[in-house]
Amino acid sequence: MMKLTSILSVASYIATASAALGKTTWLPELGPSLNPGLGEKLPFKASTGNNPWTTTIPQVCQDTAISNKCKPSEMEVFGVTYPDCAKPWVMCRCSKSPMAQQTIRDVFGEVPVHLRSTVRHVMAFPTPDGKGCHAYASSGDIVFFGDCANKTAPSVFLHESAHTRDKNNYSKNTILPAVNSDTCVPDNYANTNEVEDFAQLMVVHTHKLVTGSSPKPTDCMSHQMDIMARDWSASTLWPATCDLSVKPPNSPSVNKTDPKNVARWASEGSAPTPPEGVQLEDFGVVV
C-alpha cells in the first residue's frame, strides 16, 4: 500500500508539472554562455578526504548500478570531505564513466554549499553510445550518465543540485506564480515546466551573483529573477558551513559481493535507467 501511495503521488506530481510553460526564451541554451563565468568565478572548495569503500556500497548506488549494467567490481565508492562540511558525501562512480573521480569531486566542490547540503549521493555512469550527458535527480541523489561537467562547465551539477533543494515544491509554490507575470524563461529547457525553470534560474542567478553581470538584460524574466534574488542571496547560498540538519543520511550500506546481489547484477539492467516516475534529462553535449 505504501508503494502504491508513493507511485500515485509521483504520478500526480508529473501531471501537474508537465505542462510546458509556453514562454519565449532569454537564451536558447544556458551552458555555452554561462559556464565560462561560472567556472571562473564560483567559489571552489577542494575536497580533502579520500575514503574508499572496498566491500560495501550504499543500497541506492547498488540498485542504480544494477539498473545500468555496471558490475560490482566496476563500482568505485568513496567518501569525499570538503572544508566547509563536517560530514562527507559518499559518491559512487562506475569505472566506465567518462568523468574522472577528481572531476566529480572538483565540480561538486563548486556547487554552493547550501545546495550541496541537500544532496545525498552523487553517482556517475557512462552513456551506452559514449556521447553527451543525461542526468536525473531523485530522493536527494544526483545521477549522471556520460560527460556532464568539468571544472569550467559546472552548470549541469548546479541544475541537478537545485532539484534536490527544490523537492518539486519551491518551484511550484514560488516560481510558477512569478513565471506567470513574465514573458520569458531562461532557455528552451526551462520551458519544460516550473521544476526545470527553477533549476535553470539557479544557473542564471548564481552566474549573476558571482560574475556581477549577465550576458544580456533579464527584463523579460524580471519577476523570476527578483524572487531568486530575494530567496537565494549569497549569504543563503554560501553560509560558512553546510547545514547538517538538512543533509540527508546515507542510503543504508550493503555488501557489494553478496551472492544475491551479484545474481541481480548479472540479470538486470539497460542504461541509462532512472527510477520509475523520474524523468531522465538530456543535456546533449556539455563538455
Stretch near Zn ion under the rule CB under 5 A, chosen from 57-65, 67-75, 104-112, 275-283: 275-283
Q: How far is the CB of 55 from Zn ion (least distance, A)?
A: 34
Considering the complex, state which of residue 76 and residue 110 has its C-beta at the smaller distance from Zn ion.
Answer: 110
Q: How far is the CB of 189 from Zn ion (least distance, A)?
A: 8
- When binding is defined by CB under 5 A, the residue of 65, 176, 179, 199 that contacts Zn ion is 199
Q: Which residue, among 184, 221, 190, 222, has the nearest Cα to 203 in the 3D structure?
A: 190
Task: Please report the DSSP string for 44-76 in residue order.
Answer: -------EEESSEEEHHHHHHHHHTT--GGGEE
Stretch near Zn ion under the rule CB under 5 A, chosen from 34-42, 122-130, 255-263, 279-287: 279-287
The reply to whether 185 sits near Zn ion by the rule CB under 5 A is no
Cα–Cα separations (whole angstroms), residue 217 to 133, 176, 201, 237: 29, 21, 14, 23
Considering the complex, state which of residue 82 and residue 108 has its C-beta at the smaller distance from Zn ion.
Answer: 108
Q: How far is the CB of 243 from Zn ion (least distance, A)?
A: 22
Q: Show the binding pattern over residues 146-165: x = contacts Zn ion (CB under 5 A), - = does not.
A: --------------------
Q: How far is the CB of 270 from Zn ion (least distance, A)?
A: 22
Cα–Cα separations (whole angstroms), residue 65 to 6, 54, 108, 248: 23, 15, 20, 20
Q: How far is the CB of 195 from Zn ion (least distance, A)?
A: 7
CA-derived radius of gyration, the chain: 19
Considering the complex, state which of residue 194 and residue 196 has its C-beta at the smaller distance from Zn ion.
Answer: 196
Beta strand 133-138 with 141-146: parallel, antiparallel or unpaired? antiparallel
Helices (H), the chain: 2-17, 31-41, 59-67, 101-108, 113-116, 155-166, 170, 176-179, 194-211, 222-231, 234-237, 259-267
Considering the complex, state which of residue 141 and residue 281 has its C-beta at the smaller distance from Zn ion.
Answer: 281
Considering the complex, state which of residue 76 and residue 160 has its C-beta at the smaller distance from Zn ion.
Answer: 160
Helices 59-67, 259-267: axis angle to 10 degrees equals 30
Q: How far is the CB of 264 from Zn ion (least distance, A)?
A: 29
Strand partners, 75: 94
* Binding residues vs Zn ion (CB under 5 A): 196, 199, 281
